């Protein structure tokens, strides 16, 4: 099956940026892009001094100034952009600190951008110099349970970024960056975690046909060691059509993500289906079971199939057409033979 050019070209040109918790992001084409380090200057409010990220316990309404220590070990003056990002969960079940989406989960009450000031900062450091960059944290006035989670995303600007700044998020191509995590709490949280299955719908995953099951962590705590086994059947039937089994996942507090269930490159077929889910967390200490019906409409299926790549087409109709044509030709031949015989018989009698 030929892959559409508009799909394969971006795939060949795409370059990745991998985010690390309290660590570096790889990799860069030029070594000078990597010639800087970022570390957290841990304050007295640090809960766990053995970690390299901010893990702070602060009273409601209190203020705390924290600082990032940035060292420019390169050969030229450099400008760095620092963003405060909310922790989210990506489709692989990994907590992501690389950016704050426009639409956050509805269960999120407190955003880091409203708590940490400024939410974005740019600094310039001479070659071989280092600097402490302060940020002020103002805790919510009312006491909350659990944690507010995110991170400081630090990236050196390249010459094109410095020359052509925009208010939009910058497209990152093979860039190097640091993420220093930030976790805020009022007190230790001993509540049990929760997991919800929100929706199930047909969609595309990396341009391949899939069913997207949306799971939500509605609590202000990390959901750790998450495992999900999901199966799809026709509604009212037992035969499993598609399934997925994933483990070792985690979810950020007050976040959701779409878990893709591959349709094995098959076309999306309209109809009503049932999603069956068994999920667990923290080595099966906590367990959940979900069942959800969902309907795929013909128009939606057609549009997704047109956009999908490497879809296994159903050619059963073509077989029926060929068989039909063969039978029709056979009937025509039989009728012609019978007519020819009748004609011969008529001629012989005359």
Q: Please say if the pLDDT value at position 2 is more than 80.
A: no
Do 78 and 218 have their domain in common?
no
Do 29 and 163 have their domain in common?
yes
Tell me which of 157, 185, 213 is where a domain ends.
185
Greater confidence, 110 or 12? 110
User: Taking the complete model, does pTM exceed 0.85, yes or no?
Assistant: no
| Domain presence at residue 171 | yes
- Report CA torsion sign: 341, 343, 344, 345: positive
C-alpha 67: how far from its chain's center?
A: 30
Tell me which of 131, 158, 185 is where a domain ends.
185
Residue 330, CA atoms < 13 Å, CB-side half-sphere:
6
| Domain presence at residue 60 | yes
Give percent of the chain above pLDDT 70: 82
Only one residue has tokens 């094995």, namely: 264
Mean pLDDT of 73-82: 96
Mean pLDDT of 314-321: 63
Mean pLDDT of 87-101: 95
Residues 6+ apart with CB under 8 A from 323: none
Tell me which of 125, 151, 185 is where a domain ends.
185
pLDDT, position 8: 37
Mean pLDDT of 125-133: 97
Do 36 and 148 have their domain in common?
yes
- The SS3 call for residue 200 is strand
| Domain presence at residue 350 | no
Taking only the tens place, the pLDDT of each residue in 204-233 is: 999 999 999 999 999 999 999 999 999 999
Do 127 and 218 have their domain in common?
no
User: Tokens in use for 60?
Assistant: 């409601």
Lowest pLDDT segment from 131-135, 164-168, 230-234, 343-347: 164-168
Do 128 and 204 have their domain in common?
no
Reported as a pLDDT band with limits 50, 70 and 90, residue 343 is confident
Could you give phi then psi for residue 149, rounded to 5 degrees?
-125, 140
Do 219 and 116 have their domain in common?
no
Greater confidence, 167 or 268? 268
Do 204 and 327 have their domain in common?
no
| Domain presence at residue 250 | yes
DSSP 50-119: TSSSEEEE--TT-EEEEEEEEEE-SSS-EEEEEEEEE-EE-TTS-EE-S---SS--TT----HHHHEE-S
Mean pLDDT (the chain) is 86
pLDDT, position 120: 96
Q: Please say if the pLDDT value at position 15 is more than 80.
A: no
| Domain presence at residue 2 | no
| Domain presence at residue 5 | no
Q: What is the CATH number of the domain that holds 234?
A: 2.60.40.10
pLDDT, position 313: 53
Taking only the tens place, the pLDDT of each residue in 34-47 is: 899 999 999 999 99
Do 233 and 179 have their domain in common?
no
Mean pLDDT of 324-349: 78
Greater confidence, 180 or 169? 180
pLDDT, position 74: 94
Do 266 and 233 have their domain in common?
yes
Q: Could you give the number of structural domains in the chain? A: 3
Greater confidence, 20 or 181? 181
| Domain presence at residue 133 | yes
Do 106 and 240 have their domain in common?
no
| Domain presence at residue 115 | yes
Reported as a pLDDT band with limits 50, 70 and 90, residue 20 is very low
Which range marks the domain in which residue 249 is found? Answer: 196-307
Do 153 and 109 have their domain in common?
yes
Do 100 and 121 have their domain in common?
yes
Only one residue has tokens 């702070």, namely: 56
């Amino acid at each position: 099956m030929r892959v559409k050019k508009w799909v394969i070209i971006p795939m060949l040109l795409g370059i990745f940026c991998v985010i690390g918790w309290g660590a570096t992001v790889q990799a860069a084409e030029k070594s000078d892009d990597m010639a800087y380090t970022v570390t957290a200057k841990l304050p007295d409010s640090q809960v766990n001094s053995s970690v390299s990220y901010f893990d702070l316990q602060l009273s409601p309404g209190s203020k705390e100034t924290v600082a990032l220590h940035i060292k420019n070990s390169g050969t030229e003056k450099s400008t760095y952009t620092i963003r405060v990002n909310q922790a989210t969960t990506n489709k692989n079940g990994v907590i992501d600190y690389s950016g704050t989406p426009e639409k956050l989960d509805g269960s999120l009450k407190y955003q880091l951008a409203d708590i940490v000031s400024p939410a974005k900062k740019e600094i310039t450091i001479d070659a071989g110099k280092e600097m402490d960059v302060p940020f002020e944290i103002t805790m919510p006035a009312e006491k909350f349970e659990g944690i507010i989670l995110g991170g400081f995303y630090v990236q050196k600007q390249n010459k094109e970024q410095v020359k052509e700044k925009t208010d939009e998020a910058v497209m990152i191509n093979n860039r190097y960056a640091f993420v220093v995590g930030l976790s805020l709490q009022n007190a230790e949280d001993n509540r049990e975690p929760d997991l919800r299955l929100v929706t199930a719908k047909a969609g595309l995953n990396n341009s391949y046909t899939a069913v997207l099951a949306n799971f939500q962590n509605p609590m202000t705590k990390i959901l750790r060691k998450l495992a999900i086994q999901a199966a799809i059947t026709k509604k009212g039937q037992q035969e499993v059509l598609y399934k997925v089994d994933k483990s070792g996942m985690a979810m950020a507090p007050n976040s959701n993500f779409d878990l893709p269930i591959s349709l094995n490159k098959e076309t999306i077929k309209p109809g009503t289906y049932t999603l069956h889910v068994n999920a667990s967390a923290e080595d099966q200490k906590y367990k959940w079971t979900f069942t959800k019906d969902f309907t795929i409409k013909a128009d939606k299926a057609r549009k997704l199939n047109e956009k999908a790549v490497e879809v296994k087409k159903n050619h059963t109709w073509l077989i029926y057409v060929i068989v039909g044509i063969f039978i029709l030709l056979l009937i025509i031949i039989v009728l012609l033979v019978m007519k020819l015989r009748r004609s011969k018989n008529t001629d012989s009698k005359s």
